[in-house]
Amino acid sequence: MLSPPSAAGTDCAHVLPPTALPPAIRHLLHARTRAETVSGYVYDPRVAAARARALRAVLPPWASLFFAAKANGFPAVLAALAGSGGVDGFEVASRAEADAARAALLAAGRSPRLLAAGPAKAPALLDALLDAGTEVVHVESPLELVRLSAVAQARGRTVRVGLRVNPAAVGVRGTLAMGGRPAPFGVPEPDVPEVLALARSLPGLDVAGFHVHAVCGNRDARAHAAYVGWCLDWAARTARQHGVDLRWVDVGGGLGVAYGGEDPLDVDLLGEELHRLTPPAGVEVALEPGRWLVADCGWYAAEVVDVKHSYGTAYVLVRGGIGGFALPGTEDFPFALTVLPVEDWPSALPRPELRDVPVTVVGELCTPEDVLVRDVVVNRVRAGDLVVIPQAGAYGWEFALQSFLGHPPATRDVVVPGADIPPAPPVLAPVLEVVP
């Protein structure tokens, strides 16, 4: 079995000096190494809250802001996003996410606005989502419509539905295109008329509009605003053609994070371009970013257990790897990393090290796919040091293979309020480039 392609490329990681880590992060991680072997996350929820406020400040009044809880469901992060000036609500895809999101909003004194997504909603999940007070269920297939209708009838209520659509073509760039190709998500655009006719025939359903999430990782503000405009035009036209009383258009997330030297999303320009759009009267437009809101609020650290050579390749073996943070090995983002020196080391043990050579950072799982990054040059790395990956606040703990082999799961810590830690910068400039 080969290593993930994204872990094998030469543009997957840049090395930053330890001073690139905020002092509070360095202090907390050093404290961790004195207590236990490190594999875990440090979050500063204030960074996520600041991101939400920044986006909220530029949105037009017709737009609502939701957070896709799948990106980071840590209670402290959800609580920060639910605070004053933050998101309007959460997009959820499971009972656990719905319960956590509802609790965060209620604790903040907010109305628990929840949207539901996901391609395989069984009847029990639909029941749980309605128990949590889900406001709009984004339905992804004809059978799901029938199931939701049955659940609604059993409860003697009407459920608001947004039909998720997989459009035939969308002219917007990103790291991952999710429209116009085979996918388990949503209803293919050619099937929409038939599925809308079914929805209208079923009791207990109120088709309020549509959900389109067709791209991920887009950092082009003008292109993204144009995509939102396309969604609005498509929804209005389709609603007129098929007798839908249009009140809801969810345009998904898809805002891109600058992981390694790229130009970040121009949030102010995005707001300017969105203000040029005019949705149909009475339509609420939902944006539901996940990654963009929380990526910069987290750091992942893994202790170096060993370093070794094998047939000309230098390996850094860490406690964790994709068992703690799978994202670097599964997506083509140029992640940054830092080697944080740790001076505490048992004097009776030899301490192997590597200097100024390309290394491959791997984890502890019994699979060759446990690769974080490959062929990245480090000045020095020793057993006992920490490999730290910034911008690890999205799709980290939730996305990892934590049950495989049964190692202890990654820990999660929160920076103490008042600690000396600034918000993460939008772009992390590389100090050392990856060796071709």
- Asked if 366 is an active-site residue, the reply is yes
**For 132-245, where are the E strands, in sequence order?**
136-139, 159-166, 176-177, 187-188, 205-211, 215-216
Q: Which residues of 38-52 are buried (b: 16+ CB within 10 A; e: fewer)?
A: bbbbbbbbbbbbbbb
Residue whose pair of structure tokens reads 């209005």 in the numeric block: 236
**CA 190 from centroid of its chain's CA atoms:** 29
Inter-residue contact 381 to 387 (CB < 8 Å): yes
| Residue ranges of E strands in 18-74 | 39-43, 63-68
8 A C-beta contact, residue 210 and residue 164: yes
The CA distance from 348 to 400, in Å, is: 34
In angstroms, the CA 392 to CA 335 distance is 9
- Rounded to the nearest 5 percent, the helix, strand and coil shares of the chain are 35, 25, 40
Residues in the chain: 436
| DSSP classification of residue 187 | E
Rounded CA separation 274/334 (Å):
29
Phi–psi pair at 421, nearest 5 degrees: -145, 115
CA distance to 37, 55, 57, per residue, from 268 (Å): 43, 8, 9
Question: Terminal CA-to-CA distance of the chain, rounded, Å?
Answer: 23
The tokens describing 45, both together, are 């929820």
- What is d(CA 56, CA 34) in angstroms, rounded to the nearest whole number? 41
Instruction: Look at residue 380 and give its three-state secondary structure.
Output: strand
What is the three-class DSSP state of 109? coil
User: Which one is catalytic: 216, 231, 297, 366?
Assistant: 366
DSSP E strands, 81-204: 89-92, 114-116, 136-139, 159-166, 176-177, 187-188
Instruction: Give CA 120 to chain center in angstroms.
Output: 19
Contact 303, 341 (CB under 8 A): no
Catalytic residue numbers read: 366
